[in-house]
Amino acid sequence: MGTLLATSTLSVSAQEGGPGGQGSGSPPEQTRTADGSVWVKTDIISIMADSEIPQLHFWFAVDEHAEHAKFQTSYVMIVEFEDLNEDGAYQSGEALHFAPLAAYEWSLTTGSVVEDGITTEVWLKYTKSGVRAGPVPLTSEPAALEGSGSVARFEDVTLQIWAHIYLNDYQGLVTDDRGANVSYLVEGRSELKMDIEIGNFPFSSETSSVALQTLQKEDLDSGDPQQNRHRVRTRERTHNNTIDSSMNWTTIGGNETQFERMNGTDTQCMDFIDAASAVPQGFFSWVDQALITWPGGEQELVYVNASYVPTGAGIAVYLSYPNFDGGSILHDPSIGLYADAAPSMGLDTDTLLALGIGGVVILAVLIVLVRRK
């Protein structure tokens, strides 16, 4: 199996104050359960990483049993496509070869960074290896394209998803050898920032591209579905589009919608919003450029285009990368929660009802006692 080449040049500076500012909350914690899954928790977010496939569940830490809101991001499919309409983004009618990522073996490793006795970072890393020997895990999501695809073709592709959560905010800066740069802010204790590295890809031509299909779910909470409904809102230049996982636009091939790049920022985003209050609570975001390392070591920043489509079982988001034949590519998406949108986890409805009935009874007794005087 080939190896990944050099990673990006990254400048990091801690940011004081704010939701994840230095000293404003407890350090991130990490545990591994008997089934191999990894749990990460801060005072803002709880994350569960599946042990067999790159799949992440996340919810508010105060909502211990995920009754109010629970979100999921899965990496589902890798695909080579020819950009027929030249928009830089993937549409299903452009596919050349694809493979479900659940068809491969994945290892999940973990680690942490400790400074002066304080955990400043915990991380988890999914690493793809060869074709899976047994059946695909029951927790895996189906690829958007039907069939087994070209599993053997992509067996030697190197793919790694290295995810980090930090104690403090920091401002990241990615630069290339030509002087280009992109910057992004990672919120401490509420955002899981990922480095996706792809290498050794067997391109069919000099013009074909690569896409990773992710699947976003915003409706996994365990509480009353009539009370805890969420929607997905895409931030676009001319309008906001609001959709949900139950929609299905896939009756006609190639109907994926391209995200419009936002002006004034290097980060694109889709929000998971509370349907009743319209308050954004969670998000899936990505830096709109990725770093190619060419054979010989030269590095070049290139634009990442994205498209999306509701599938009825979730919202497929495709991150599209230009041809990097012979080299590797590094990209930075994130998942996370908006700290100031955490639900108020006070008394539940049954408790409030019981207290209300009790209050009425107490008030009635007091009235009777007053009247007897």
CATH code of residue 110? 2.70.98
User: Is 348 part of any domain?
Assistant: no
Three-state DSSP state, 349: helix
Range of the domain at 131: 9-342
Q: What per-residue string of b and e applies to 126-135 under the rule 16 or more CB within 10 Å gives b?
A: bbbeeebeee
User: Is 359 part of any domain?
Assistant: no
User: Is 259 part of any domain?
Assistant: yes
Burial classification of residue 269, based on how many CB atoms lie within 10 Å of its CB (0-12 exposed, 13-18 middle, 19 or more buried)? middle
User: Is 366 part of any domain?
Assistant: no
Q: What angle do CA 206, 208, 214 make, to 5 degrees?
A: 145
User: Is 24 part of any domain?
Assistant: yes
- In angstroms, the CA 36 to CA 110 distance is 11
Rg over CA atoms, the chain:
23
Q: What is the token pair recorded at 303?
A: 């634009």
For the chain, give the percent of residues with pLDDT over 70: 82
User: Is 307 part of any domain?
Assistant: yes
User: Is 227 part of any domain?
Assistant: yes
State residue 347's pLDDT score: 45
Three-state DSSP state, 167: coil
Could you give the count of Cα atoms lying within 13 Å of 19 in the half-sphere of its Cβ?
19
Q: What is the token pair recorded at 299?
A: 């590095």
Total residues found in the chain within this entry: 373
Number of domains in the chain: 1
- In angstroms, the CA 371 to CA 373 distance is 5
- pLDDT tens, the chain, 373 aa long: 333 333 333 333 344 333 334 446 899 999 999 999 999 999 999 999 999 999 999 999 999 999 999 999 999 999 999 999 999 999 999 999 999 999 999 999 999 999 999 999 999 999 999 999 999 999 999 998 888 899 999 999 999 999 999 999 989 999 999 999 999 999 999 999 999 999 999 999 999 999 999 999 998 888 776 565 778 877 655 556 788 888 888 777 678 888 887 767 899 999 999 888 889 999 999 999 999 999 999 999 999 999 999 988 899 999 999 999 999 999 999 999 999 999 887 644 444 344 344 433 333 333 333 344 4
User: Is 362 part of any domain?
Assistant: no
pTM comes to 0.86
Is residue 167 within 8 Å of residue 189, measured between CB atoms?
Answer: yes
Residue 1's nearest CA partner among 165, 210, 157 is 157
Q: What angle do CA 236, 241, 242 make, to 5 degrees?
A: 140
